[in-house]
Structure 1
Amino acid sequence: MTKNDEQRIAEEPHRKQSRRRFLEGTLGAALASAGIYGLIDTLVQPPEQVAFADGQPLPQPLPPEQYIIQNVPIIKDNGSGINSSNGTIPVLVHPLHNHIITAKLRVPANAKTLQEAQHHLESVLLGLEQQFPPTLSGLGIAVAWGLSYFHHYIPSLGKTSSFFKAGTRYPDYLPVDLVTSKLEGHTVYAVQDAMTFPSDQPPAGFGPVHLEQNDVAVLLRSDSLTNVMEATNALFGTASNQAGSLFKVTSIRRGFAGGGFYGKQSLPSRLALAANIPGAKSIPPYAEVFLGFTTTLQSNMGPGIIANLETLPGETDQWPHGYFQHGTTMHLSHLFEDLATWYGQGFPTYADRVQAMLQPGLSPAPGTLTLNPPGQSEANVVQGVHQYHAYGHTGSMAPVDSTTAPTTSNYGVDYPTGTTIPVRGDFNTLDNPFHYTSDPAADHYSSTPAAGLHFIVFQPTIAIFNRVRLAMDGHYSDQTLSVAPRSPHAGINSVLFTTHRQNYIVPSRLHRSFPLAEFLT
């Protein structure tokens, strides 16, 4: 990076922020402005040669899952970060640009207008798909729906179909979590309202964690900012051929991931330095994320369609014929990350950070960013607490985020014991906490950049997310570890500060636009 580049990057946040503060009194300006993230395409280019996950052309028609980006590249990492083409650890390359827009609906709650809105939104989405394939060079689009949409707009179904009887009321048409229902002795649905967790703690003065009630969230992912911004305009602009009249935008959340290809300085390092974030100088230059360690190892990501509602036998009632088949559930949250503590007094050495992020007892070569230790059982985690008086972040979750026995999916795919189930899509951000909010006071909006994470994860049921997240705090179904959940000995919890949470259902591509509206009368 040249001196001119460094000066331009250093000046950009202040220039962009001052202009944004002047212009972004209107939503239109916020939607049109990428802020500091507009620099990304000038700082890094995607790798030109990578091995595709399946090596096959995109199927036509497109796959029924809308949340999966097709042909995700895989890089063989050598341990130093996503910057090698001749390593041994397979790492998935996530999109450089990741944007989420949440909204409430402007549509009257009656059958006619909802069905018209359904056709309008689907027309816009089909147009975008004709323009951009669902790949990194194109555009991944996922439309997720909150429980508030179903509660307020789909109180009951007026038509009998192959899926439902006429008169079926909310929430009885939602997918049922069969595993949790059996455990708890009553019906539990695959998507549930968000909850807080023992280690959840917002920053001082922020107030309690905001459990959001958005009707819809749209996730846009691409290596091209131009593609993302064109889709944003098509979906939330107000011209007659756009869908913005359907929505009242509540937040715009922008961010980034990776970019440290083949020895180049990564986006987390470059942008944190540009924004003068405390602790930024300590971020490893090739780190995929602010906290340094590579997070998208192939072994740590649910393969294929394992996160679908219907894939794993006995998880939900969506097999063999469910309206929400080929869909999934999504958790969305925002967290601040305290980089000064992570790279400073809290975890002063590389060894401290390895043991906090992964598990105690590891001693890799200093500076190794991509690590793939064997998964831990609950007994291993408990033994580690006895021996080291601490547990690690990924180690604590391993006992509950994977298959516990060899499993054959409903589609005939064999998953060995220890196959990860959730599919993560989280990304770093400089939003504080959002790029735009319709309620700056309630969301404690600030124009000062801050290191953070927009956390996204897909899984068959929200109960799976809850179990994994509780394990991160040392809480298992049969015991609680003897470590305070916000202790520096409890993984990375002490450097995370949660501000917002919400759970969603992500329907199939076929039912992504105003799901169930076709059954209203």
Structure 2
Amino acid sequence: MFDGDLPRRTVMKAAVAIGSAGALSACLNRADGADAPTGDPDAKPSRQHAWREHVRHDDHGNTQLPAHQILIYFDIDGAGPPADDDRAGLVETLDGLDRAYEWSNDGLLHSVAYSPSYFDRFDVDPAGVSLPEPSALSPFESPTFDRQDAVLHLASDRPEVVLAADRALRGERETANGVTVPSLTDVATIDSRRTGFVGAGLPAENQDAAGVPDSRPVPEASPLFMGFTAGFRGNQATESYVTLDSGPFAGGTTKVIANIRQRLDDWYDEQSYDERVTELFSPGHAENDLVEGVGETLGADSGIDRFVDDVVADAKEYGRVGHAQKAARANRDPEGNVRLLRRHFESTDDIGSEKAVASLHFPSLQRTIAEFETVRRSMNGTDATAATPAVRQRVNNGILEYIFARRRGYFLVPPRRHRALPTPDPE
């Protein structure tokens, strides 16, 4: 099934994308037979989104997200509120995952989140949480909206872990890591399965995809297809900041998941390195030589706060503005705290007759969906387009020329105590 001469990471990523029994076998054969650490349900944190203290970090304290990730979108069987038996069944499934794997990047991190459509089953909104229907956030996008009842997010540095958990959830095996995990399909119908990867080396090894030039320009050191690192600690909200602090869902958070198609031929073939720095960060970053390589010189903070007030002036002076500087000006509260916690990862899911398609899965955590929408609208750069004809709706306007929103969904991530088919007011 897999060429024995292929690099191990390429085989692992391909196996996760395929998700078959043969793929799992190939993964296990490549994993040196090592078992993942098992878990203790009582040792899991109360927040489903508590990941930072359980994953790797670089020398600057930046979070290194698990390399292999799967999103499973599903609908609860039947109409109306879910039955108690269904709720008990999901409890057994999630508890099975908790017993099968340690809560870590070496085991399995996971969370389940619920959409507005799920709460429509009760004809009541979730108490204390604003959970609107997803909508278009710019005049030039028309994404498909994910309105499935729920999404289960799996993440691990071990591809065999996410694969075994995924296959157990889909009813294709009875155990994961030697522990019985009842199938998700006992209570739900799986609508969509989406996979991805993140980390230095993985995008370079998987850049044979539509949307990336044939010249294979993605640097080996880059964790993402666009050639730069992201998710600097100083430019991310903390887990505590995005956590709901009152109401029955206190300890939870809200989650937006978008899928963004990337078309990077012009990004690499027409833009110089300095122009890419300008459009991803800001003209000031390029002018002051703040970025080297994939951004290693930035440490724990991109330094974008220096340039958030310069968008209109930069548009007039340079005829370009930066993606990060546009977003960051709306991504700070009055005290200067960052509002969004982004956990994005790459994908080549769309396997057609010729090649896969480069895209980005973009999960974002925040206290309110409105905060995400405000930051996303700030990316439109409307004030920059009004300042000079050089900056247009997409051209010279950050990275909007190269990214295209294909899907978007809004979700509530309950605290662990309410993670199994919650009612709108579970307490």
User: Given residue 256 of structure 1, which amino acid in structure 2 is its aligned partner?
Assistant: F
1:247-262 matched pairs, under 5 angstroms: 247-258=188-199, 260=200
Q: Deviation digits for residues 36-65 of structure 1, max 9, x if unmatched? A: 9x7799599xxxxxxxxxxxxx99542211
1:97-496 matched pairs, under 5 angstroms: 97-110=68-81, 114-151=83-120, 153-155=121-123, 170-171=124-125, 173-176=126-129, 189=130, 191-198=131-138, 200-201=140-141, 208-237=142-171, 241-258=182-199, 260=200, 266-273=201-208, 277-279=212-214, 281-310=216-245, 319=246, 322-345=247-270, 347=271, 349-363=272-286, 364=289, 367-370=293-296, 371=298, 372-376=302-306, 378-405=308-335, 417=336, 419-432=337-350, 448-475=355-382, 483-487=391-395, 489-496=396-403
> Of 41, 46, 52, which aligns to 1:64?
46
Q: Deviation digits for residues 72-107 of structure 1, max 9, x if unmatched? A: 22212xxxxxxxxxxxx4422110101101112214
Q: Deviation digits for residues 294-325 of structure 1, max 9, x if unmatched? A: 01211122123211122xxxxxxxx2xx1111
Tell me which residue corresponds to 1:92: 63
Looking at structure 1, the residues matched to 8 and 324 of structure 2 have their Cα atoms a distance apart, in angstroms, of: 37
> Of 73, 87, 90, which aligns to 2:56?
73
Q: Which of these two proteins has the greater Rg computed from alpha carbons?
A: 1
Looking at structure 2, the residues matched to 33 and 396 of structure 1 have their Cα atoms a distance apart, in angstroms, of: 45
Q: Deviation digits for residues 193-247 of structure 1, max 9, x if unmatched? A: 111122644xxxxxx4212211111100001122212222333317793221222
Question: Does the Cα contact within 8 Å between 2:8 and 2:30 map onto a contact in 1?
Answer: no
Tell me which residue corresponds to 1:180: none
User: Given residue 276 of structure 2, which amino acid in structure 1 is its aligned partner?
Assistant: R
Structure 1 alignment gaps of length 5 or more: 21-29, 45-57, 77-88, 156-169, 177-188, 202-207, 261-265, 311-318, 406-416, 436-444
Tell me which residue corresponds to 2:178: none
Say which SS state the counterpart of residue 252 (structure 1) adopts.
strand
Measured after TM superposition, the shift of residue 387 of structure 1 is 1.8
- 132 and 393 in structure 1: CA distance in 2 versus 1, 3 angstrom threshold: same
Question: Does the Cα contact within 8 Å between 2:282 and 2:304 map onto a contact in 1?
Answer: no
Say which SS state the counterpart of residue 98 (structure 1) adopts.
strand
- 453 and 43 in structure 1: CA distance in 2 versus 1, 3 angstrom threshold: farther
Q: Deviation digits for residues 332-351 of structure 1, max 9, x if unmatched? A: 11111112121012x2x100
Question: Does the Cα contact within 8 Å between 1:279 and 1:339 map onto a contact in 2?
Answer: no
Measured after TM superposition, the shift of residue 356 of structure 1 is 0.5
Looking at structure 1, the residues matched to 426 and 292 of structure 2 have their Cα atoms a distance apart, in angstroms, of: 59
Looking at structure 2, the residues matched to 246 and 447 of structure 1 have their Cα atoms a distance apart, in angstroms, of: 36
Tell me which residue corresponds to 1:186: none
Say which SS state the counterpart of residue 401 (structure 2) adopts.
helix
Question: Does the Cα contact within 8 Å between 1:474 and 1:481 map onto a contact in 2?
Answer: no
User: TM-score scaled to structure 2, two decimals?
Assistant: 0.83
User: Given residue 132 of structure 1, which amino acid in structure 2 is its aligned partner?
Assistant: Y
Say which SS state the counterpart of residue 343 (structure 1) adopts.
helix
Looking at structure 2, the residues matched to 212 and 389 of structure 1 have their Cα atoms a distance apart, in angstroms, of: 36
Looking at structure 1, the residues matched to 15 and 159 of structure 2 have their Cα atoms a distance apart, in angstroms, of: 16
Say which SS state the counterpart of residue 117 (structure 1) adopts.
helix
Looking at structure 1, the residues matched to 29 and 276 of structure 2 have their Cα atoms a distance apart, in angstroms, of: 31
Looking at structure 2, the residues matched to 518 and 463 of structure 1 have their Cα atoms a distance apart, in angstroms, of: 21
> Quick one: percent identity of the two aligned structures?
24
User: TM-score scaled to structure 1, two decimals?
Assistant: 0.69
Looking at structure 2, the residues matched to 32 and 475 of structure 1 have their Cα atoms a distance apart, in angstroms, of: 46
- 453 and 298 in structure 1: CA distance in 2 versus 1, 3 angstrom threshold: same
User: Does residue 404 of structure 2 align to residue 505 of structure 1?
Assistant: no
Question: Does the Cα contact within 8 Å between 1:114 and 1:514 map onto a contact in 2?
Answer: no
Q: Deviation digits for residues 402-428 of structure 1, max 9, x if unmatched? A: 2321xxxxxxxxxxx3x3221111100
Measured after TM superposition, the shift of residue 390 of structure 1 is 1.8
Question: Does the Cα contact within 8 Å between 1:138 and 1:224 map onto a contact in 2?
Answer: yes
Measured after TM superposition, the shift of residue 252 of structure 1 is 0.7
Question: Does the Cα contact within 8 Å between 2:76 and 2:188 map onto a contact in 1?
Answer: yes
Looking at structure 1, the residues matched to 15 and 66 of structure 2 have their Cα atoms a distance apart, in angstroms, of: 23
Say which SS state the counterpart of residue 111 (structure 2) adopts.
strand
- 397 and 480 in structure 1: CA distance in 2 versus 1, 3 angstrom threshold: farther
- 302 and 34 in structure 1: CA distance in 2 versus 1, 3 angstrom threshold: farther
Question: Does the Cα contact within 8 Å between 1:331 and 1:462 map onto a contact in 2?
Answer: yes
Measured after TM superposition, the shift of residue 479 of structure 1 is 10
- 280 and 199 in structure 1: CA distance in 2 versus 1, 3 angstrom threshold: farther
Q: Deviation digits for residues 121-161 of structure 1, max 9, x if unmatched? A: 0111112112212210011111011111110x212xxxxxx
- 234 and 301 in structure 1: CA distance in 2 versus 1, 3 angstrom threshold: same
Looking at structure 1, the residues matched to 415 and 357 of structure 2 have their Cα atoms a distance apart, in angstroms, of: 35
RMSD: 3.6
User: Given residue 192 of structure 2, which amino acid in structure 1 is its aligned partner?
Assistant: S
